Amino acid sequence: MNTENKPNSEPNDLEITDAVVAEHGLKPDEYALIVEHMGRTPNMTELGVFSVMWSEHCSYKSSRKWLGKLNTKADHVIQGPGENAGVIDIGDGLAAIFKMESHNHPSFIEPYQGAATGVGGIMRDVFTMGARPVANMNALRFGDPSHPKTRHLVSGVVAGIGGYGNCIGVPTVGGEVNFDKSYNGNILVNAMCVGIADTDKIFYAAASGIGSPVVYVGSKTGRDGIHGATMASAEFDDASDEKRPTVQVGDPFTEKLLLEACLELMSSDAIVAIQDMGAAGLTSSSVEMASKGDVGIELDLDQVPCRETAMTAYEMLLSESQERMLMVLKPGREAEASAIFERWGLDFAVIGVLTDTKRMIIKHQGHIVADMPLGPLADGAPLYSRPYEPTPKRATIGKNDIVHKLSISDVLRKMVALPDLASRRWIWEQYDHMVMGDTIARPGGDAALVRVHGTQKALAIATDVTPRYCYADPIEGGRQAVCETWRNITATGAQPLAITNCLNFGNPERPEIMGQFVGCLEGMNEASIALNYPVISGNVSLYNETNGTGIHPTPAIGGVGVISDYTKAVSIAPSQEGLSLYVIGETKGHLGCSIYLRDIIGAEELGAPPPVNVNEEKANGDFVRDLILKGDIDAVHDVSDGGLLLALCDMAFASRLGIRIKLSPEDPHAFWFGEDQARYVVAVKNAAAFEEAAANYKITKIGETAADTLTFSDGVSISLEELRTHNEKWLPDFMSQRTA
C-alpha cells in the first residue's frame, strides 16, 4: 500500500538516457526505431508503453517469422491464432475455445501466486471470447528432485493452481509433470483452459464504432506486476528474487464474479469488442483492440478505478493487476452493462472512447501524457530473423551398446517409482477435478473427458511433450509431442481436432537455441498437417535460462478432441479378468532417449529418440478409434514414457486387475522398456474377431488380464499391490521429505 501523500508527479520530465532505455529491455537500435516512429523523443510514459508492446512476450519478435509457417487451417477451425484463444466447431452449433499459456518466470519467483495468476489469466482469455470455461489442464516442469528448491516450488505451484481453479469452480482435469535438472533455475508452468460457447455468440477483440465508449470492468488497478511482460522476456540471474514485487497477486473470487458478469452481459448484444487485461495490462488490451479494429483510442486515466493513491500514468498503463477486462460497448448501452457489474459487486468505469486518429492518446489530470501511433505500437517491433544452428543428429544407440544388469522385474520395481513415472495422485487430489458435474474421465488416464453440459458429447483433452526427445532431436521431439496428444485423445475414442501450443525455450539470441525452436516447429508442423490437427492458439516463452544455462526445449502441446457419444468412450482400465491384451503398432525396442536408459542404466549418452512415423500414427490411431466406436474394445492405453510394460502396469493399477504375460521376447529389456511410437495396448473380449479386424496392422499378443499379480511367461510374478505401493508412494514421500 502506498502511504505517500505527495502530489502525483509524472515521470515524464525525466531524461531518457541509454541506461533508462536498457532498463526497459530495449536494444539501442530498437529505441532508435521508436524515435523514428514517434518523430520525436518519447517521454517516459511512452517509452514504458513501447517497451512492453515490443517485449518478446507481447511482440513475438524472435518467433513470429516461424510461427507464420504453422498449419492453422482446417474446415473445423472457426478462429486460428491471433485472438485471445482459438475456436473450433464441435458440431450442433457449439464451439470449443481454448489456449495454453506460460507463467514460468513469475512461478519461479513466487510459486503460489505465479501459478494461480497463470490459471486466472488463461481462463480470462477463454471467457473473454464468450465461452464458459469447462476444464483446466496444465503442463509443469520442475528441476531435479534433489535440488533444494524443487520441493518448495512443486508445493507452491500445485497449491496455486488448485487455489485458483478450485475457487472459481472450473475443474482441473489433468496435466503432466516432469522433473529434470535443466529446469533447476527455471521451472515451467503452462496452464491451459478449454471453454464452450455457441458458435453464434463468440466475441472478438477488434474494436469498431468511432465514438463508442471504452469500458473498464473488474478489479481496481494497483502497482502490482509493473513490467511483468518485460521480466518474462529476460533471463534470470541470482538476483531474480529481487523481482518478487513484479509478480501479480490473484483473486479467484473476483474472477468468478467477473466471469459470471461478463457471460451475463454477453447474452445481450451490448458488447462490440472485449479483451482481457493480461500481460502489459491496460496498455496491451487497448492497443490490441484499437489496432485490430484499425481505429484510434483515447483514454482518460482519471477514470480508472485505482486501489492505490497517487498512481502515475506510467504505473497505471503498465500495471498487471489481475481480474480486469476492457471492452467497447455499443453507444447508449452503458447503463444496462453497469447494472450487471454493480450487481456482481465489480468496478465499472467508462475510461475512454474510440477515435478515428489511429493514435493512442492518454490523458491524466487534464494533460495529454502520451500520444503514440497505434500501428507501430502493435506491429512495429522489429522482427528478428535470428541465426540458428540445427541441432546435430545423434547416433542411434544399438542393442549391443547397452549392458542390462537387472532382471525385468527388478527394473520394473524401480521404474514405477521414478520421479517421471510415479503416480501424480498427490498433485491431482489437490485440484477439484469434479466440479461442474461433467467430468467423465478423471485425471490418471490418457486424456481427460469432460461432457459438454446437457449433451451426449464430450471433449477429450490432453497435454504432452517429451523434452528429452526435443533436446536430442528437435524435429522428432516436435513431431512426437503433437502425436502423443493425438494418441491420448484417440485412446478415449474421441476424434482429435486441434491443438494449442506453449513453446518454452531458452535464449533465442543463441543460434543453438534458435535451432531447437526452428526444429521443434518443423516437426510439430509436419505432424499437424498429416493428422489434420491444426494449431489454433498458443504462446511463446523464450529466455528460459538462468546464468546462461537453457532449459530443455519444451514445446508443450494441448490437444482437444470430441466424441459425439460419451457412453462409447473407453478408459485405460480393463473391466474383467480373461480379456486378451494386444499391442497395436510395431515394437522394435528403441531404447535411445528412453527413461530406462537415462534412469536405470544411467547412461551419459542417450542417443537418438525413437523416430516418429506420422503415417503410421494416423493409421494405427484411426484403427483404434474405429474399434472403440464399434464397441469392440474394452480398454485402451497408449504406450509412451517407460515403454510397454509401464503401459500395462498403468492399466493394471487403474483396474486393480493383474496381467498374465504369455510372450517371451528375444531381447526383453528393449521390448518391455523401449519407447517406440504409434503404439496402443488394447484389451479385447473377442480375440479372434480382433485379430481378423487387425489383419492389416502390426499387432502382438501380450497375454491376458488376470487376478492380482503380474506374471511373466517364465513364471516370475510380482504382486500388483507391491508395485502400486511403490508407484503411489514416491511423490507423497518426496514432498514430506521421506525420500533422499
Partner 1 sequence: MTATVIVFPGSNCDRDVAVCLEAALGKSPIMAWHGDQQLPKSDAIILPGGFSYGDYLRGGSIAAQSPIMREVVAAAHKGTPVLGICNGFQILTECGLLPGVLMRNSGLKFICRDVALTVGNTQTPFMHGYTRDQKITMPIAHNEGNYFASEDTLNELSDNDRIVLSYDGESPNGASRNIAGIRNEAGNVVGMMPHPERLAEAALGGEDGRAIFDGLATFLAQ
Residues lying near partner 1 in the complex (CB under 8 A): 159, 162-163, 166-169, 251-254, 256-257, 344-345, 428-440, 442, 451, 566-567
Q: What phi and psi, each to the nearest 5 degrees, are found at residue 650?
A: -55, -45
The answer to whether the CB of 416 falls within 8 A of the CB of 720 is no
C-alpha cell at 727: 508407484
Query: Counting beta carbons within 10 angstroms of the beta carbon of residue 189, is it exposed (0 to 12), middle (13 to 18) or buried (19 or more)?
Result: buried
Which DSSP string do the residues of 233-250 spell out, in sequence order? TS-B-TTGGGGGGGS---
Which residue's CB is nearer to partner 1, number 336 or number 342?
Answer: 342
Closer CB to partner 1, 440 or 603, in the complex? 440
- Chain CA centroid to CA 659, Å: 35
Question: Who contacts 181 (Cβ-Cβ below 8 Å, separation ≥6)?
Answer: 143, 144, 147
Residue nearer to partner 1 on the CB measure, 449 or 648: 449
- Helix runs in 442-510, H state only: 467-472, 474-490
24, 76, 103, 726: the active-site residue? 103
Nearer to partner 1, 42 or 444 (CB): 444
Identity of the residue, 82 or 345, whose beta carbon is nearer to partner 1 in the bound complex:
345
CB of 436 to partner 1, least distance (A): 7
Closest approach, Cβ 431 to partner 1, in A, equals 6
**Cβ-contact 653, 720 below 8 angstroms:** yes
Tell me how far, at minimum, the Cβ of 432 lies from partner 1, in Å: 5
Q: How far is the CB of 490 from partner 1 (least distance, A)?
A: 21
620, 664 in Cβ contact below 8 A? no
CB contact at 8 A, 525 and 561: no
What single letter denotes the amino acid at residue 18? D
In whole angstroms, how close is the CB of 639 to partner 1 at the nearest point?
Answer: 26
Question: In the complex, what is the shortest distance from the CB of residue 449 to partner 1, in angstroms, rounded to a whole number?
Answer: 10
The x, y and z cell numbers of residue 689, run together, are: 474377431
Nearer to partner 1, 529 or 735 (CB): 735
Pick between residue 149 and residue 425 the one whose CB is nearest to partner 1.
425
Cell 536494444 belongs to residue: 27
Grouping H, G, I as helix, E, B as strand and the rest as coil, residue 154 is: helix
Strands 132-142 and 172-179, bridge-based pairing: parallel
| DSSP string over 625-670 | HHHHHHT--SEEEE--TT-HHHHHHHHHHHHT-EEEE----SSHHH
By beta-carbon proximity to partner 1, the closer residue of 437 and 715 is: 437
- Strand 213-218 and strand 347-355: the pairing is antiparallel
Beta strands in 474-565 (DSSP E): 495-504, 535-541, 545-546, 549-550, 554-563
Least CB distance to partner 1 at residue 196 (A)? 13
C-alpha cell at 632: 469392440
In the bound state with partner 1, the residue whose beta carbon lies nearer, of 440 and 556, is 440
Tell me how crowded residue 216 is: count the other CB atoms within 10 A of its CB.
Answer: 25
Nearest to 416 by CA among 573, 594, 645: 645
For residue 184, how far is the Cα from the chain centroid?
A: 20
Nearest to 90 by CA among 17, 166, 199, 200: 199
Rounded to a whole number of angstroms, the minimum distance from the CB of residue 607 to partner 1 is: 40
Active site (annotated) includes residue 105: no
Which CB atom, from 232 or from 258, has the smaller least distance to partner 1? 258
* Residues 71/529, Cβ–Cβ less than 8 Å: yes
Alpha-carbon span 378 to 49, nearest angstrom = 11
Determine the 3-state secondary structure of 435 from DSSP.
coil
How far is it, in rounded angstroms, from Cα 56 to Cα 58?
A: 6
Shortest Å distance, C-beta 494 to partner 1: 15
Min dist. Cβ of residue 709 to partner 1 (A):
25
Nearest to partner 1 of 218, 293 (CB atom) = 218
Per-residue burial over 63-76, b = 16 or more CB atoms within 10 Å of its CB, e = otherwise: beebbeebbbebeb
Helix (H) or strand (E) holding 678: none
Q: Is 147 a catalytic residue?
A: no
Q: Are 397 and 519 in contact (CB under 8 A)?
A: no
Q: In whole angstroms, what separates CA 627 from the centre of its chain? A: 30
Helix axes 474-490, 614-630, angle to 10 degrees: 10
Radius of gyration of the chain (CA): 26
Q: What value, to the nearest 5°, has the Cα angle with vertex 157 and ends 154 and 167?
A: 135
The alpha carbon of 337 is separated from its chain's Cα centroid by a whole number of angstroms, namely 32
Min separation Cβ 248 and partner 1, Å? 17
CB of 217 to partner 1, least distance (A): 15
Pick the catalytic residue: 24, 57, 227, 669? 57
In terms of CB distance, is 60 or 428 closer to partner 1?
A: 428
Residues with a known catalytic role: 57, 103
